[in-house]
Amino acid sequence: MYRYISQVVLVSVLVLLGAFTVVNAQGQNSSGKPALDNKDPLLYDAQIYASNNNVSTEEALHRFQLQDIAGKLDAELSKNETGTFAGLWVEHTPEFRVVAQFTRNGEEIIKPYLKQHTELANIVEVRTANVSLANLQRDQADASSSINALGIRVQSDINVYNNNVELYITKADRSRFDDALQRGEIRLPDTVKVITVEVEQMAVEADEPLLTPAAQESPETPGFGVILSVVSLLVVTMYRRKI
């Protein structure tokens, strides 16, 4: 059964871990600016976001609200438009916007939803993708099942931005996987990309996100309804599914 997992940063985004400021005992950060007020977690997150994105704290809070609304839109499209919806994400730079992908007729499909979520009407960009999210989910499930049946450990995600499925195989299992693939024991559709990772990058528990090389270099964002301070450092917030 598919579920939301923590939002994952694109390979191409900037590594922004160093953007956090360190508050010293005098109530100032390392740049000499006044220390942030961490009594209100949401305000604290907004202040960090504002500082790193060159916007006001009020604008940061407004964007957090829009991100929550975008989450609702994503859920509605995933449920109601399975034949054409290909995923949604939020971009924070160079401008704040919501990107929704469809395999066809995206502009027409999204119109009634934007009448309901009017706050997003001026910031939604519709793009065209080759494969629907539902088909990517099917390919993800089929590929993972066939590989697991051979006793090869695999984890997977759907990369909405790239419109494909990513399979993660450890270096130790890669030769077995390649041999099975060559023998025809595993058949992968064109939507699937295989990525080799170190064994320690594989999630220990089912509820943990896979530690891909990109995820290790950059922080992950929480779900739409939960905003942590790390969300302010992201260039792109993505929506991916994991089995």
In angstroms, rounded to a whole number, what is the distance separating the alpha carbons of residues 137 and 151?
A: 21
- Residue 102: predicted pLDDT: 98
Backbone angles phi, psi at 101, to 5 degrees: -110, 140
Query: For the chain, how many structural domains are there in total?
Result: 2
* Burial class of residue 217, CB neighbours in 10 A (0-12, 13-18, 19+): middle
Mean pLDDT (whole number) for 165-187: 94
Mean pLDDT (whole number) for 192-201: 89
Q: Are residues 145 and 205 in the same domain?
A: yes
Q: Are residues 47 and 138 in the same domain?
A: no
pLDDT higher at 73 or 20: 73
Asked whether residue 211 carries a pLDDT value surpassing 50, the answer given is no
Q: Are residues 107 and 160 in the same domain?
A: no
**239 band by pLDDT with thresholds 50, 70 and 90:** very low
Residues for the chain: how many in total? 243
Asked whether residue 215 carries a pLDDT value surpassing 50, the answer given is no
Residue-number span of the structural domain to which 34 is assigned: 3-131+218-242
- pTM assigned to the model: 0.71
Q: Are residues 236 and 123 in the same domain?
A: yes
Q: Are residues 9 and 107 in the same domain?
A: yes
pLDDT higher at 241 or 48: 48
CATH number at 145 reads 3.30.300.50
Q: Are residues 117 and 68 in the same domain?
A: yes
- What own/partner pairs with CB < 8 Å and gap ≥ 24 does 1-5 have? 2/137, 2/241, 2/242, 2/243, 3/241, 3/242, 4/223, 4/239, 4/241, 5/157, 5/209, 5/240, 5/241, 5/242
